[in-house]
Chain A
Amino acid sequence: MASETIPITVEFTGGLEMLFADQRKHSLSVPAKDERGQAVTVGWLVHYLCVEVMKDPRKEMFVLDGHVRPGILVLINDADWELEGEASYALQARDNILFVSTLHGG
């Protein structure tokens, strides 16, 4: 399979950044296709972030039962991911995927 990649930006705010080395903005180059040759989706990205990017062991702060933890908002190019097909949304080059936690205090 060709190792074609697409550039995307992933951001974490609302307290989630602390799970990702206190870094809010991550510029990533992700494979265009998954291991089965399908176009990569946001659902795939969430798993990828957990495995490849997140160093913090507290995975369940981000993903619970295979889904983004309830209380974490996902915005795809500033739009609620519910408007974009949620986890099934196919990533496009230069997409901005923002994860915002509503769970953290002030």
Chain B
Amino acid sequence: MAPALCAICKVSRALIIRPKNHQKLCKACFIAVFEAEIHHTITSTSLFSPGDRIAIGASGGKDSTVLASVLKTLNERYNYGLDLVLLSIDEGIKGYRDDSLETVKRNAVQYDMPLKIVGYAELYGWTMDQVVETIGKKGNCTYCGVFRRQALDRGAKMLGIKHVVTGHNADDVAETILMNLLRGDLPRLARSTSIVTGDETSEVRRSKPLKYAYEKEIVLYAHHKKLDYFSTECIYSPEAFRGSARSLIKNLERVRPSAILDVVRSGEDMARLVPEEVTGVSHCKSQKTSLSSADGEDQGAGGCGTNGRNSGGEMAEMEKKLQQDEEAAGREIDISALSNNANGQRHDRIETKPEPRKAAKKDVGRKLVRQTLGTCRRCGYMSSQEICKACMLLEGLNKNRPNMQIEVDGEEESSSLRKGMGEMALAAG
């Protein structure tokens, strides 16, 4: 067939067909459009301010490599005035992370950015190899995910940086939205749609500038720009990721490519219906900013399938939800129906309903304070609980027994590091 011409320049041969709108583009126009859209995401959400120091969470994989490349390009092209630094986490997995860290080291040279590597060994006294030696492969992703989320914050603090960007893409966000929808977890669904978690008062904010970028286009951008990235699978990837939401997303995309962004938009619309008391997302100033969840669960920031929600957090959330039930009574939106549906998904929540309602009525102020982000009493890093999850897990490890309170339960979260594992696990079976 005759080669199609680029829909923009009408001169060059089209090489790319865009999933979001079927537009056929040549290589040069695709690269220009891809960069322009990330620029638009950044400027329309006022993501950065001149002089900001930004740590790019870099794994050496396609997403973070593209993020680093695009941010460097845009920073120079549009004079963002950003000071960009690569921040990598060394989980201490021989034959996996040591290889991909070599890629990050090359990226640091290619993009002329400083590179900081923080290791689990120095932060926690345990490498993942040692953790697995102690607890076995089952459940090790919980440890890795909890440790990594905190490690990114701690790495940023070591650098004196207050903003970490991660390579989460539209596919990741859509996957998280679907998963939270399937769990009936509207608060987390709402938070996961935010482009930023944390605000000026947070120690470390997190954001995902590639939130609207298709994974397909990220890979094609990396290909056509000949970026140096590393693809691998964690050697400890467990079987727990069978039938991942990832496969669902990819199948949806095959039937109707716009489905991915449609899920993201739907998630954002649903988030707008969830009161801010529940999500911490302020609708007034911008529905795109949400208060940080110190555990980072909303973002699944690089955590390999961790779903370490515990009963304490659920109770707190429950209280918040019940409180908003009352406060929402006078609102225009029929929130109570929404909440009831959400609660209906979980029988335990229905059981506990009467008690927290009373508590919330009695002492509204205290309950609100309890929701405020605090610091871990033990390590001093951000935590919504008295003792952060990392410290709880470490305590178990140091006693040479795994902490059974936080268990992998087969549910997954979105993560660019983890996404391939589902596929691997599927195949292995």
Does B208 make an interface contact (CB < 8 A)? Answer: no
The reply to whether the CB of B74 lies closer than 8 angstroms to some CB of chain A is no
The one of A15, A60, A80, A98 that contacts B420, using a Cβ cutoff of 8 Å = A15
Interface residues of B in 176-226 (CB under 8 A from A): 215-216, 218-220, 223-224
Residue from B1, B254, B418, B421 within 8 A of A70 (CB atoms): B254
A100 at the interface (CB under 8 A from B): yes
Q: What residues of chain A lie closer than 8 Å to B246, measured between beta carbons?
A: 71, 103
Q: Report if A106 contacts B (CB, 8 A).
A: yes
Q: Which residue of B lies closest to A15 (CB)?
A: B231
Residue from A73, A84, A98, A105 within 8 A of B417 (CB atoms) = A105
**A13-B231, A15-B232, A61-B423 as given contacts; A73 in contact with B220, CB under 8 Å:** yes
Please determine whether A103 and B420 come into contact, CB atoms closer than 8 angstroms.
yes
Question: Within the complex, which residue of A71, A73, A84, A105 is in contact with B421, where a contact is CB–CB below 8 Å?
Answer: A105
Check if B337 is an interface residue, CB within 8 A of chain A.
no
In the complex, which residues of chain A have a beta carbon less than 8 angstroms from the beta carbon of B219? 14, 73, 100, 102
* Interchain CB contact under 8 A, B231 and A14: yes
Residues in chain B near residue A83, CB distance under 8 A: 3-4, 14-15, 17, 24
A75: interface (CB < 8 Å) = yes
Q: Are B427 and A61 in contact (CB under 8 A)?
A: yes
Residues of A within 8 A of B417 (CB): 105-106
CB distance from A50 to the nearest CB of B (A): 13
In the bound assembly, the distance between CA atoms of A84 and B423 in angstroms comes to 27
A85's partner among B1, B16, B62, B251 (CB-CB below 8 A) is B1
Is B233 a contact of A104 with CB atoms below 8 Å? yes
Q: Is the CB of B416 within 8 A of A105?
A: yes
The interface residues of chain B, by DSSP majority, are classed as helix
B283 within 8 A of A: no
Cβ distance B144 to chain A, nearest Cβ, rounded Å: 12
Question: In the complex, what residue of chain B is closest to A80 when comparing beta carbons?
Answer: B17
- In Å, the complex CA distance between A79 and B17 comes to 9
> Chain A: which residue is nearest B4 at the CB level?
A83
Verify if B145 is at the interface (C-beta below 8 Å from A). no
Tell me the chain B residues, 59-79 only, with Cβ under 8 Å from chain A: 59-65
- State how many angstroms separate the Cβ of A43 from the closest Cβ of chain B: 16
Instruction: Check: A78 CB closer than 8 A to any chain B CB.
Output: yes
| CB contact under 8 A between A106 and B230, given known A83-B4, A84-B1 | yes
- Binary per-residue interface labels of chain B (1-34) against chain A in the complex, 1 for a CB within 8 Å, 0 otherwise: 1011000000001111100000010010000000
Chain B residues whose C-beta falls within 8 Å of the C-beta of A105 in the assembled complex = 59, 61, 231-234, 415-421
- From 74 to 93 in chain A, residues with beta carbon under 8 angstroms from any chain B beta carbon are 75, 78-80, 82-85
Complexed CA–CA distance, A77 and B253 (Å)? 23
- Residue contact A104 to B427, C-beta cutoff 8 Å: no
Q: Given A15-B420, A75-B223, A106-B100 in contact, is the A70-B229 Cβ separation under 8 Å? A: no
Binary interface encoding of chain B residues 100-132 relative to chain A, with 1 for a CB under 8 A from any of its CBs, else 0? 100100000000000000000000000000000
Query: Is the C-beta of B367 less than 8 angstroms from some C-beta in chain A?
Result: no
**Is B284 close to A, CB under 8 A?**
no
A96 within 8 A of B: no
Q: Quote the shortest CB–CB distance from B302 to chain A (angstroms).
A: 9
15 contacts between A and B (CB under 8 A): A14-B62, A15-B420, A70-B247, A71-B215, A71-B246, A83-B4, A84-B1, A102-B171, A103-B423, A104-B231, A104-B233, A106-B59, A106-B62, A106-B63, A106-B417
Taking beta carbons and an 8 Å cutoff, which residues of B are in contact with A? 1, 3-4, 13-17, 24, 27, 59-65, 100, 103, 167, 171, 215-216, 218-220, 223-224, 229-234, 246-247, 250-251, 253-254, 415-421, 423-424, 426-428
4 new A-B contacts at CB < 8 Å, known A15-B420, A83-B17, A105-B418: A61-B423, A70-B247, A104-B232, A106-B63
List the 6 shortest-distance A-B pairs measured between CB atoms, nearest first: A106-B61, A15-B231, A106-B59, A104-B420, A70-B250, A58-B427
